[in-house]
């Protein structure tokens, strides 16, 4: 029976479950290496596999996408785009309570992001005007994972902030289901609720390549967002620069800081929920109470047996998860800030008193009633959050991800003439004589 390993030595925990790994350091399991060798006719690394897929899509467009659909997803398709009528009909193809839950989530996500201040400004003085123009990006591609589980919530969490920002063209790509090549009705229903009419049946690195460079069925977009597996993430890394991306999200992670007042059953439930995502997911408890850690470990073992994805959870618990014993809550927050978790859950007696100690986290969940699963679905903020320690410098997906800031400079001739003296001096200091000459030409016009 799998359970939660307890680390009494913080240095040992930092060398194991708290240690961050680069995207290029991800170890490839044997079965995946064998699968890649069979797919490409020779052993290849995931990075090289993605490079070849991207090249084929750039050169052959839809033909390459259809070929990869067949070879990777086992889906024989004649067309890639999902008919608009099928998207519209999807709401009637899912249970009414699911449709209602999707609408509730969509309304809350939209209301949350509409509160985000995103405004340009202009300062007009006697010198002229300086300011910033805010404009939405022209187009966005949204990747929605659909491998081991369809994720309509990711569609809502990615599409709606883009719509609030004013993006006019949004295309969704999602893998076809093995066999009939269809798309899960619940994903199409989420698209219908958002008013998205362009859904394309393609997944993996090939979907990222299609959105980055365009094919006959997939328009080239300005920015790609949405989490995916290792191959999706590597593809986003490789196309970045030719297209914008939201980041390089890796396996999901949660860190729970708990004190002796925490309910061990709820702490265990929250850790198990995160471990359910992926065999490489991280679910880490940090607590000064060893008694609590032992109780949580027992609860994890007891509850695991009844869960549908128990095998995945067991591997996640074995790989990158555990309970870390610290001296006190102050040290727990030091550990959390160093780890910079995607989700930081505070199951402590007075969570609001500790918010000021949080520097690095994608999202902070305060108390047992503000648990991470609510953030996954219906709380309001996007659940697309920085992983892999990138919360040290990155933010959750939000409206600002879908706009561009353009600097506005409109100086009057007199002000330009005065400022040009300093500009010419600095240009000369940098040995840029053409710059200096351009500035000096304005000085002489006074």
**Helix/strand/coil (H/E/C) assignment for every residue in the chain:** CCCCCEECCHHHHHHCCCCCCCHHHCCCCHHHHHHHHHHHCCCCCHHHHHHHHHHHHHHHCHHHHHHHHHHHHCECCCCCECCHHHHHHHHHHCCHHHHHHHHHHHHHHHHHHHCCCCCCEEEEECCEEEEEEEEECCEEEEECCCCCCCCHHHHHHHHHHHHHHCCCEEEEEECCCCECCCCCHHHHHHHHHHCCCCEEECCHHHHHHHHHHCCCCCCCCCEEECCCCHHHHHHHHHHECCEEECCCCCCCEEEEEECCCCCHHHHHHHHHHHHCCCCCCEEEEEECCHHHHHHHHHHHHHHHCCCCCHHHHHHHHHHHCEEEECCCHHHHHHHHHHHCCCEEEEECCCHHHHHHHCCCCCEEEECCCCCHHHHHHCCCCCCCCCCCCHHHCCCCCCHHHHEEEEEEEEECHHHHHHHHHHHHHHHHHCCCHHHHHHHHHHHCCC
- The CB density around residue 249, as the number of other CB atoms within 10 Å, is 24
Is 343 one of the catalytic residues?
yes
Spatial separation of the C-alpha atoms in residues 260 and 265, rounded to whole Å: 13
- Residue of 276, 299, 342, 372 marked active site: 342
- Residue of 276, 343, 372, 383 marked active site: 343
Task: Judge contact between 195 and 159, C-beta under 8 A.
Answer: no
Q: 255 forms bridges with which residues in the sheet? A: 284, 344
Is 342 one of the catalytic residues?
yes
- The CB density around residue 121, as the number of other CB atoms within 10 Å, is 10
Name every residue whose Cβ is closer than 8 Å to that of residue 78 and which is 6 or more positions away in sequence.
Answer: none
Q: What is the CA radius of gyration of the chain?
A: 25
Which residues participate in catalysis according to the annotation? 342-343
């Amino acid at each position: 029976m799998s359970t939660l390993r307890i680390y009494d030595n913080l240095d040992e925990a930092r060398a194991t479950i708290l240690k961050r790994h680069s995207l290029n350091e991800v170890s490839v399991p044997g079965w995946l290496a064998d699968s890649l060798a069979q797919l490409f006719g020779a052993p290849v690394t995931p990075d090289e596999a993605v490079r070849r897929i991207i090249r084929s899509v750039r050169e052959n467009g839809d033909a390459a996408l259809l070929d990869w659909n067949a070879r990777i997803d086992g889906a024989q398709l004649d067309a890639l785009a999902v008919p608009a009528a099928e998207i519209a009909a999807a709401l009637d193809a899912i249970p009414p309570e699911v449709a209602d839950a999707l609408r509730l989530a969509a309304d809350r996500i939209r209301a949350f992001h509409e509160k985000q201040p995103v405004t340009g400004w202009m300062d007009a003085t006697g010198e002229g005007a300086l300011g910033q123009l805010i404009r939405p990006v022209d187009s966005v591609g949204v990747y929605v994972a659909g491998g081991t589980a369809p994720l309509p919530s990711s569609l809502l969490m990615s599409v709606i902030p883009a719509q609030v920002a004013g993006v006019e063209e949004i295309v969704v790509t999602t893998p076809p289901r093995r066999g009939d090549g269809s798309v899960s009705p619940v994903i199409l229903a989420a698209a219908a609720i958002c008013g998205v009419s362009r859904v394309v049946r393609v997944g993996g690195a090939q979907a990222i390549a299609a959105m980055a460079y365009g094919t006959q069925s997939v328009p080239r977009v300005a920015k790609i967002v949405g989490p995916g597996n290792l191959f999706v993430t590597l593809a986003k890394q490789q196309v970045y620069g030719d297209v914008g991306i939201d980041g390089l999200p890796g396996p999901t992670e949660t860190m729970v800081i708990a004190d002796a007042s925490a309910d061990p059953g709820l702490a265990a439930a929250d850790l198990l929920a995160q471990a359910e995502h992926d065999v490489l997911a991280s679910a880490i408890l940090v607590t000064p109470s060893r008694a609590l850690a032992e109780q949580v470990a027992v609860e994890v073992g007891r509850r695991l047996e009844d869960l549908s994805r128990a095998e995945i959870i067991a591997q996640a618990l074995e790989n990158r998860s555990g309970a870390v014993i610290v001296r006190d809550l102050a040290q727990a927050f030091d550990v959390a800030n160093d780890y910079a978790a995607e989700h930081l859950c505070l199951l402590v007696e007075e969570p609001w008193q500790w918010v000021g100690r949080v520097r690095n986290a994608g999202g902070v969940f305060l108390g047992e009633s503000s648990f991470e699963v609510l953030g996954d679905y219906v709380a309001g903020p996007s659940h697309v959050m920085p992983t892999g320690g990138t919360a040290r410098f990155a933010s959750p997906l939000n409206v600002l991800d879908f706009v561009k800031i353009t600097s506005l400079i409109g100086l009057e001739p007199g002000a330009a003439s005065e400022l040009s003296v300093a500009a010419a001096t600095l240009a000369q200091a940098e040995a840029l004589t053409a710059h200096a000459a351009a500035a000096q030409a304005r000085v002489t016009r006074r």
